[in-house]
Amino acid sequence: MRIDAEGWCHGLRRIASPNCDRRLPGTEVSLLVIHNISLPPGEFGGKAIEQLFTNTLDCDTHPYYERLRGLQVSAHFLVRRDGQLIQFVSCSKRAWHAGVSEWQGRSRCNDFSLGIELEGDDDTPFTDAQYAALIRLTRRLQRHYPLRDITGHSDIAPGRKTDPGPYFDWPRFLSALQA
Ligand SMILES: [Zn+2]
């Protein structure tokens, strides 16, 4: 897995999302944010996440999608249940994943972070393949960007977001990064 000068990882699937913009010049990418997502909630394996991130989701196809109408969101990466990695936004750009957020007194976390979505929800353990892919990707990103902190969406948007949820095994993830 190689990261090129434009911030794209080679060796994984790429589906470009328009839901991103330029980072302010000189911004250090110092925070990694872990999320979970499933669409519809609790259902895995469909194309709806990719469609949401590319503004092609037909919001008439499920009652839950009504609240997603007009939403423009993205993350840099998605880790599917089988461990497949998809990149939607160049790491050089600001993906619209965190929303209203704050980390250690600094607001607008999208400005200085990378976002990784794990396909999942707050009620289901993540798969071994997802941990393996996430660890591999995170190690690669740590070598390329000055990431000082790794956190969950729920920690930067408390009261508003709960992901990656109680089933995300932080000790497993963080200890693997140190190994
Ligand atoms: Zn999230």
Q: Along the 179 residues of the chain, how does pLDDT read in single tens digits?
A: 899 999 999 999 999 999 999 999 999 999 999 999 999 999 999 999 999 999 999 999 999 999 999 999 999 999 999 999 999 999 999 999 999 999 999 999 999 999 999 999 999 999 999 999 999 999 999 999 999 999 999 999 999 999 999 999 999 999 999 98
Beta bridge partners of 35: 117
Instruction: Provide the pLDDT for residue 178.
Output: 93
The sign of the CA dihedral 12, 1, 35, 96 is negative
CATH architecture group of domain 2-178: 3-Layer(aba) Sandwich (3.40)
Measured CA to CA, the distance from residue 103 to residue 34 in angstroms comes to 13
Q: Which of 61, 115, 125, 66 is nearest to 93 (CA)?
A: 115
Tell me how far the alpha carbon of residue 74 lies from the centroid of ligand 1, in angstroms. 10
Instruction: Name the residue among 21, 47, 8 with its Cα closest to residue 110.
Output: 21
Between the CA of 42 and the centroid of ligand 1 the distance, in Å, is: 15
Q: How far is the CA of 97 from the centre of ligand 1 (A)?
A: 7
Close Cβ partners of 85 (under 8 Å, ≥ 6 residues apart): 9, 12, 13, 77, 78, 79, 133, 137
Where do the structural domains in the chain lie, given as residue ranges? 2-178
Catalytic residue list: 117
Structure-token pair, residue 58: 């037909």
CA of 22 to the centre of ligand 1 (A): 20
Q: What is the pTM of this model?
A: 0.97
Go through 94-109 and write b for each residue having 16 or more CB atoms within 10 A of its CB, e for each that does not: bbbbbeebebeeeeeb
Cα–ligand 1 centroid distance for 61 (angstroms): 22
